[in-house]
A and B are shown apart, each in its own frame.
Chain A
Amino acid sequence: MNNQRRTVLKSGSGAALLGLLAAAGIINPGMALAEWNKAAFDAKSMADTLKALGAGTPAESKDVQVTGPDIAENGAVVPVGVSSTLPNVTMVAILIEKNPNALAASFTLPEGTEANVQTRVKMGQTSNVYALVKSDGKFFMATKEIKVTLGGCGG
């Protein structure tokens, strides 16, 4: 299915074909929004991830926030989110510096959707977590450290 979609997107008459495929129920409507950004999710370091996202070196902004608790009782489930008061935010992403692949998730926000998204991520260890925001076509960033604790009996 992935391959099929990729081929479709590469062909010149992609849009029309997509419509047909959607109508035929072959692909889920709305799924063909954008290609899953393999390069960005495969990137290891922060810098490579930002590059793959086309974000360059984002400016730090006080109007962007990594939301969620500063401490996690377990690294398998860490509640984390992004919020921002910047105007016209079209995309937000969550990056975890010390994970094997920094990018955890990215979100496309159509007009009318608030720049305030929460999810839950895995963290291998205590790490800086970054919120990336695209506002008026420019990238901004904020960070905070989230502590992952060992817990329970220890084994």
Chain B
Amino acid sequence: MGDDHVCTYDKNPLIPQVCKIIFIEQETPDVKTFRFQTLDGKKPFAPLPGQLGMLSLLGTGEAMFSITSQGEDYIEISIKRCGLLTEALHEAEVGQLVGLRGPYGNHFPLKEAEGLDLLFVGGGIALAPLRPFINYVKANREKFKHVDILYGSRSPEDLVFKRELFEAWPTMPDTNMHVTVDKGAAGYEGNVGFVPTYMEELAFSPEGKMVVLCGPPIMIKFCLQALFRMGFSKEQVITTLEMRMKCGIGKCGRCNIGSKYVCVDGPVFSMAEIDELPDEK
């Protein structure tokens, strides 16, 4: 999608810079959000919504994460505990030093989305890549038309970014929030049901709308079917892909889908682009 890649340090793109964890927030039982800052108190780099960062726990390993938010002097990454490295990261404390390099990859089509209705669909931890886009829309609200945010997780306690979900985003002008969970719990009064089902119940109109869809593969699959039933075309649907990455700069070879490298040509693709790629996911 967008061609303007931004790499904020001019040196070797494979060498991380040492950054400090300055804040940790427990989002859900298995998701934590970490805030990183350089040692001299600056923002490590300035990612665009959708871009990636390579986080390295020195000696333990490196992994690519999407940058979920940024402030004047920090960036934020939300991490779900699911492997050796993330396990170790969840043990980390404020003040711990890590390596960080990036930003990598393309970003959401901010320009192309201007003047359109937007429908954000996220499932589980996959709200993390959508979050900077939604916050960008919030900051530049006049550029975009009506916004719908549909987000689902397994259970109420697995909902991430609760402050934004229930406080910040619902107060955005001309915005509808739709939160759903697979399985309800005591005290939860919202909708219960899977994201694709709920989406069809809500019956969005495809007219002048761009859909940004992120979630586990199975959710994507059924959401796409639902969207196409509602009359959306694949050009209207934007999603992000995930592959194992090592270098982040399109060299090491493993994140290719066909001749595209997810780390430099992605992670953001339109469904129309994905259709052109071999079925390898």
A complexed with B: no
Which A positions have Cβ atoms within 8 angstroms of B? none
Which B positions have Cβ atoms within 8 angstroms of A? none
